[in-house]
Structure 1
Amino acid sequence: MGADSEDAVKQLSLLMEQVETPLKRSFQNVHQGYPKETLMRFLKAREWNVSKAHKMIVDSLNWRIQNEIDSVLERPIVPVDLYRSIRDSQLVGLSGYTKEGLPVFAIGVGHSTYDKASVHYYVQSHIQINEYRDRIILPRLSQQFGRPVTSCVKVLDMTGLKLSALSQIKMLTSISTVDDLNYPEKTETYYVVNVPYIFSACWKVVKPLLQERTKKKVKVLSGCGRDELLKIMDYSSLPHFCRREGSGSSKHSSSDVDNCFSLDHPFHKELYGHIKEQASHRELIKMGSLHVSIPEPDPNDAKIVEVIQAEFQKMGEQDGSTNGHKD
C-alpha cells in the first residue's frame, strides 16, 4: 500500500471516529476487529476518494441500523420447508476454500428461479449468508491463519441460463445493489463456468461498461473450469458442477451432501443451525420476512442492467424470428 493509500486510510479513520455511537457499534459488526482493512475496501470502491468513501460507509451503516441488519442472524426463515424451497431456488453455497484460505462460494446463476417465495425472503437469505461469511467464517479463518482474511472467491455456474432469466433481473439487481453499496470489495475473483451463448453475447456488450477494477476480477473459464480452478483449490473444494466435464445441471448433479446448494450440505446446516440458536436467545422472535429497503443502484450499474435487458430482448426477437417462438 502506497503513502497516498495510507494517508487516505488515516483520513477516513479520523472521520469515522466522529460518527455517532450507534454507527460505531454497527461498524464493529462490519469490521470484526479489522477496521483498517474494512476502510480500505470502501476506499477501493470509491477510487480512494476519502469523502466519497466516507459517505458510502456512513450510508451503509445507516442502512444497517434502519433495516436491523445487525440482528439478521437472529431471524430464521421459518418454517424449515420454506427455507428449503428458498435453497432449491436460490442456488448458493460454500464449497470449500482456496489454497490461500479464501472461502469458495458457488452460485448457480442459470438454474436459480427465485420463484418459491417473496423477494423479501430471498434478499433476507442473501444478507444472512453475507453476514455469516463476514461475522463467523472470515474471522474464524483470520484467527486460523494469523492474518486478516476479509474476502472470498465466487464460482458462477451459467448452466441452464435462458432468455426467460430476464424476468429475474429485478431480483438480481436488488441483490447486487445491496452487495455493491454495503459489502464492497468482498469478492477477489469471479470465475464464470459452463458458459452458454446467451452469456457470451451479453458479456461482449457489458464488459466495456465495467470499471477496470471489476473487469480484472471476472475470469470466464472454458467448460466447467475444473483444470483452471484446481490451480487455486483442491479437488475437494471444487463446486460439484465443476468436478467433471459434462456434469450437467448444477441443480441436480451429485448427492445432497456434495451439492453445496442443498440445505443438507454441512454449510447450510451450520448456517441455519446458528441462526436458530441465536433466535432461541431472544424472548421475542419476529416472524415473517425481513423487509429490507433496497438502496438506489449506482447510475452506471443501472445502465448495465438496461444493456443486458436490451440484449436479451434482441436475442429473444432473433430467436422468435428464426424458430417461430421465443425462449
Structure 2
Amino acid sequence: MSISESDRVAINELREAVKEHLTPYYDTDFNLLRWLKGHDYKMDVIKPKLINHLLFRKSDWDLDSLADKPRDHPVHHHWKTGLTGESGIIPNTIVNIEQTGSNDYWGMLHSYPTNEILRARVHDLESMLKAVMDLEKKTNQQCSVIYIMDLTGIKFDKRTITLLTGGLSAISAFMAEHYVELVHSFVLVNVPAFISAIWTIAKPLLPERTRNKCNILNSEWRVEVLKMAEGSCLPSYWNDEEDDGPFTAPIEKCVPFPEDKYYMGKVSSNADHMSVSAGKTGFVEVEVKTGQTLSWEIHSNGHFAFAIYELPLVPNNSDDVSNYTRVYPLFSKIPGPTIVPCIDKLVCPSSATYRLWFGNQHAWFHTLKIDYVAKVE
C-alpha cells in the first residue's frame, strides 16, 4: 500500500517529534508509518514508545547493524532461522517459519539468561525488519511478514503452560513492543486437537493487535498454506517422505538443548538483597569510571522490569528516570522467578553514577525480591 497524503502529514509530524533520536538507517517513511498504524495515530502514545525503541537501537546492542553481522549466538545453534523470502502469493510480504511445536524453549530458558535469549532473538527480528525494508525500497509499498508457526510436536502439559504464561509471553510482549506492525499475520499450521485449550491460556497474554492477526488453519493446512506463499518459501520437511515437493525451502530443524548443560548455579553467598513493593520501583547505584566494566548477576522471585541509567553530574534529586541517560536497554518484562539469572556486563562510556533500576509496577500484591551482585572492574 502506498502512502496517502494524510499519512504523509502524520509521518512528518512524528519524524519531527523524535528527530533527535532517529538514525539514518531507521528513518524511513514506512518504519514511522508502522508506529502510527500500530497505535492508532495517537501521538501522545506513540512518541514515548518510539523513543524507547530508538534508544534501544542506539544502545550497545547496536540494532542498526545487527542484521549484517553473523548469526552466531550460541542460542542460534538450537533456534534456527526461518526467514525464507517473498511470499510470491500475498503481495508485499516476506515469509518466516517458526518451529513453535518442536523448538526446545524449555531447555533454552533453563540454559541461558533472558537477556541472552533476547540478544539472539533480536538478530532474527532485525533480519526480518531489514528484509521488509529492502522490499519496501524495491516496491515503494508498505511490506510486512507472514509469520508461520508450525505446531508439530507441541504437547499440552505443565511445561507448555509454564512457557505460555512466562518466558514465551515475555518474548511475545517484547516483539510487540519494539517491532510494531512488522507482522502481517500469524498463521498456525499442523495444530493439535487441544489447540482450543492452548488458545484459551495464550489469548489473554497476547496484545490485542497480535490476537487479531492469528489465523489457525484446519487439517487441510498443507493446501491452505500454499494460498499464502509459494512452496519455495515453505520448509521441505513438510513434504511426505517419498515426495520432493511442493515445499522446497531448506530450513534446518531445531536442535534440543542438552539437559546436562542446564543452569544449576545458586545465588552467590556475597549477593546483596532488595525488595520492591507491588506497583513500585527500586534501584541500586554504583560509581564507575570511564572504560571500567560494570557486570551484574540478578536473581528474582517474579517478573520485573530492568534498565541502567547514568545520573547527571549535578544531582537533580529526581526519581523520574526519563530525566537520565539510559546506558542499558529498558526491558519491560523479564520473566520470573528467574530460572537462569540475568548475567551481563557493560563497558562504561563515562565516569558517573550508574543506577540499576528495577520495576515492579505490573504487580498488584506481589513484593519483588531481588538478589544481585554488581561489580566494577
Same fold (TM > 0.5): yes
Task: Give how far 1:206 is off.
Answer: 5.0
Measure how far apart 1:57 and its partner are. 1.0
Q: Distance in 1 between matches of 2:46 and 2:101?
A: 34
Contact 1:225 1:242 in 2 (8 A): no
| Structure 2 residue 81 is the aligned partner of structure 1 residue 70 | no
Residues 129, 182 of structure 2: 8 Å contact kept: no
User: Contact 2:92–2:141 at 8 Å: present in 1 too?
Assistant: no
Aligned to 1:10: 9
The one-letter amino acid of 1:132's match is S
> Residue deviations 1:233-281, cap 9 Å, x none?
2222223354459x9xxxxxx99x7224569xxxxxxxxxxxxxxxxxx
TM-fit CA distance, 1:185? 0.6
CA distance in 2, matches of 1:168, 1:206: 10
Asked whether 1:168 is paired with 2:163, we answer yes
**Superposition TM-score, scaled by structure 2 size:** 0.56
Match of 1:105 in 2: 96
Q: Which of these two proteins has the greater Rg computed from alpha carbons?
A: 2
* Contact 2:186-2:215 at 8 Å conserved across structures: yes
Aligned to 1:235: 231
Residue 259 (structure 1) aligned with residue 228 (structure 2): no
Unaligned runs of 5+ in 1: 248-253, 264-285, 304-327
Partner of residue 48, structure 1: 41
- Specify whether residues 39 and 149 from structure 1 end up closer, same or farther in structure 2 by C-alpha distance, changes over 3 A only: closer
What is the CA RMSD across the aligned residues, in angstroms? 3.9
Residue aligning to 1:141: 135
Shift of 1:228: 0.9
1:185-234 CA deviation, whole Å, 9 max, x = no partner? 11111110111234321324655786764444211001362111111222
Q: Map 1:1-327 onto structure 2 (within 5 A).
A: 7=6, 10-11=9-10, 13-19=12-18, 21=20, 23-25=21-23, 28-31=24-27, 34-35=28-29, 37-68=30-61, 69-73=63-67, 76=70, 83=74, 86-99=75-88, 100-114=91-105, 115-116=107-108, 117-118=111-112, 119-135=114-130, 137-144=131-138, 146-162=139-155, 163=157, 164-169=159-164, 170-204=166-200, 207=203, 213-223=209-219, 225-244=221-240, 258-261=250-253, 293-296=330-333
Pair 194,132 (structure 1): closer, same or farther in 2 beyond 3 Å: same
More strand by share: 2
One-letter code aligned to 1:59: N
Q: Per-residue displacement from partner, 1:138-163 (whole Å, max 9, x unpaired)?
A: 2332344x323531101101112122
8 A contact 1:67–1:293 mirrored in 2 = no
In the alignment, the residues of structure 2 paired with residue 16 and residue 140 of structure 1 have an alpha-carbon distance, to the nearest angstrom, of 20
Asked if the contact 1:158/1:195 (under 8 Å) is kept, the reply is yes
> Is the 8 Å Cα contact of residues 79 and 254 (structure 2) preserved in structure 1?
no
Does structure 2 retain, via aligned residues, the 8 Å contact 1:157–1:192? yes
Q: Contact between 1:102 and 1:149, CA under 8 Å: does it hold in 2? A: no
Q: Deviations over 1:23-45 (max 9, x none)?
A: 122xx3334xx32x222211222
Give the aligned length: 252
